[in-house]
Amino acid sequence: MPASAPILNKHIDRILVDQKSIADRVRELAREITENHPDPSEPVVILCVLNGSIIFLADLIRHLPIRMMLGVIGASSYRGKETVSQGASIWHRLHTPIELTGQHVLIVDDILDSGNTLRLVRRTVEEQNPKSVATAVLLRKPDKAPPDVQAEYIGFDIEDAFVVGYGLDYAGEFRNLPHIAVLKSECYADADGD
């Protein structure tokens, strides 16, 4: 355990998904994605939604034995210390020599809750006329996810709690936790009232 762990863990209420469960499920997701890839002779463009899905993406692609290209797009529904979605916005456009037209695209995101970010990113990708589009999310809150926003690949369904770790943050912190954890409410109790 890193020396900083006690400092980080004092803000954690409980661990929701442990490190081993994440590793096992990421391998399973990679197998599902590989088996369902529309055309193994063609590469897939994997589009990482910054910043929360970086760790998920890094682990996932190490288990994908398919041809791929990587791109990134910055989009978020949460800003700073907010814990309630404020509507999605793209803050970093897809700046890459990768052409999405006629390509198979896999969008990789950290969490599907309000659906605002995923809806916006998927619409942005579909406007470029890809051959196919699929989405992989590490987490989904089924009680909040709207029916019009679907993910083909889901790591874990979780309760409606504010979670951090494994790339997910609160005010830019806690991304480096190796598990998915529920943040203590006192850490953000006054944030949404500001």
Backbone angles phi, psi at 74, to 5 degrees: -100, 120
Catalytic residue, chosen from 59, 109, 110, 113, is 113
Closest CA to 158 of 176, 143, 168, 173: 143
**CA trace torsion 159, 11, 25, 121 (10° rounding):** 70
Q: How far apart are the first and last CA of the chain?
A: 35
Strand ranges across the sheet with 163-164: 12-17, 180-183, 163-164
113 is catalytic: yes
Residue 156 backbone phi and psi in degrees, to 5: -145, 140
d(CA 137, CA 157): 10
Active-site residues: which are they?
113
